Amino acid sequence: QVHLVESGGGSVPTGGSLKLSCTASGVTYVHYCMGWFRQTPGKGPEGVASVDSGDGRTTYAPSVKGRFTISRDSAKNTLYLEMNSLEPEDSSMYYCGVENWDASGGYCHYDDAWDYRGQGTQVTVSS
């Protein structure tokens, strides 16, 4: 059973930084995509970033490109999202997800529909 646990959220002022972590267990896919998405109440999910477990290729939503960095430590089964220059518009619940690479069409994308997701971690950026 796949289990994803996010951590690292919090409250920061505009311009601040946070680093989110997502610890994964039970992932049996040989090749997979992992990523982050966010969602605020009353709105649909918004893809943020993705990384390919095979070649490490990353993709980012235009709204976060240049400010956020996704990375993974395969030895620790942990996915990260380093967020800099945070803006109030970044306030949201952040979730990590995992998807079978075959189901992604052979290309991991930040807007993918994830097979599994965690419970989320809240990020609040004050103006």
Please give the pLDDT value at position 105.
Answer: 85
Could you read off the pLDDT of 11-25 as tens digits, one per residue? Answer: 999 999 999 999 999
pLDDT of 104 above 90 = no
| pLDDT band (50, 70, 90) for residue 109 | very high
Please give the pLDDT value at position 4.
Answer: 98
The percent of residues in the chain predicted with pLDDT above 90, rounded, is: 95
Please give the pLDDT value at position 106.
Answer: 85
pLDDT of 35 above 90 = yes
Dihedral angle at the C-alpha atoms of 60, 73, 103, 66, nearest 10 degrees?
Answer: 0
Tally helices (H) and strands (E) across the chain. Answer: 0, 11
Please give the pLDDT value at position 18.
Answer: 98
Please give the pLDDT value at position 103.
Answer: 87
User: What does each C-alpha distance from 78 to 40, 42, 86, 106, 123 come to in angstroms?
Assistant: 24, 29, 22, 22, 19
DSSP assignments along 45-82, one per residue: -EEEEEEETTT--EEE-TTTBTTEEEEEETTTTEEEEE
| pLDDT band (50, 70, 90) for residue 86 | very high
Please give the pLDDT value at position 74.
Answer: 93
The rounded mean pLDDT for the chain is 96
Please give the pLDDT value at position 93.
Answer: 98
